[in-house]
């Protein structure tokens, strides 16, 4: 055997020995299926939070209402720019309560849909406001869509939009 061939054989043998003795790479981690979402429990959690929100709104507790909103949550109301975050929502509610001292609100949920991952939910329903205006003689009725998201495993409002379904007043006609 020539010297050069001998060096190649020894080198290849040494490389094979090193490869055989090297620690084996760990097997790939098994892919775990996402935990099954308990849709009924998530729907109930949102219904409970929504009931707390309605109770706070009926009590005119703007601070309690604001705690339902995510820090980056956006609330859309007619004739004002989007209200971003709990502080903006609280300030809006305080102003509305002062401008409408006889107002009362009620709303009902028609449907709640939970995303497959269990981290987003869509709630739809209708609302009814009475006692609006300085004398309490006006009302509003409409629809809403609320998008909830999980923040630190807790449901918060990501987006809330309401839209009146009442016809516009006829100029010169007194509201009924």
Q: Which domain CATH number covers 90?
A: 3.10.450.50
How far apart are the C-alpha atoms of 143 and 129, rounded to whole Å? Answer: 11
Answer yes or no: is 11 within a domain: no
pTM: 0.76
Task: Name the domain count of the chain.
Answer: 1
Q: Using an 8 Å Cβ cutoff, are 145 and 124 in contact? A: yes
Enter the tokens of residue 131: 């006692």
Quick one: pLDDT band at residue 22, thresholds 50, 70, 90?
low
pLDDT value, residue 129: 95
Quick one: pLDDT band at residue 176, thresholds 50, 70, 90?
very low
Answer yes or no: is 48 within a domain: yes
pLDDT tens digits along 75-125:
999 999 999 999 999 999 999 999 999 999 999 999 999 999 999 999 999
- Which range of residues forms the domain containing residue 132? 39-164
Average pLDDT, the chain: 87
Phi-psi region of 152 (alpha: psi -120 to 50; beta: other; left: phi over 0): left
Looking at per-residue pLDDT, the higher value among 52 and 167 belongs to 52
pLDDT value, residue 89: 98
Q: What is the DSSP string of 109-168?
A: EEEEEE-TTSSEEEEEEEEEEEEESTTS-EEEEEEEEEEEEEETTEEEEEEEEEEE-SPP
**Proportion of the chain above pLDDT 70, given as a percent:** 80
- Chain Cα centroid distance, residue 162: 15
Nearest to 76 by CA among 173, 2, 174, 142: 142
How far apart are the C-alpha atoms of 29 and 171, rounded to whole Å? Answer: 70
């Amino acid at each position: 055997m020539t010297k050069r061939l001998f060096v190649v054989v020894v080198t290849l043998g040494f490389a094979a020995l090193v490869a055989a003795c090297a620690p084996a790479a760990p097997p790939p981690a098994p892919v775990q299926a996402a935990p099954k979402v308990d849709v009924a429990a998530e729907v109930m959690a949102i219904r409970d939070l929504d009931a707390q929100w309605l109770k706070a709104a009926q009590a005119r507790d703007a601070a309690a209402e604001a705690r339902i909103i995510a820090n980056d949550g956006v609330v859309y109301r007619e004739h004002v720019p989007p209200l971003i975050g709990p502080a903006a929502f609280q300030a809006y509610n305080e102003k509305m309560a002062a401008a409408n001292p006889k107002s009362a609100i009620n709303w009902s949920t028609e449907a709640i849909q939970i995303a497959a991952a269990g981290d987003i939910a869509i709630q739809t329903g209708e609302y009814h406001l009475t006692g609006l205006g300085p004398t309490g003689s006006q009302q509003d009725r409409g629809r809403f869509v609320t998008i909830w998201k999980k923040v630190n495993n807790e449901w918060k409002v990501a987006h809330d939009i309401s839209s009146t379904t009442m016809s516009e007043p006829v100029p010169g006609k007194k509201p009924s």
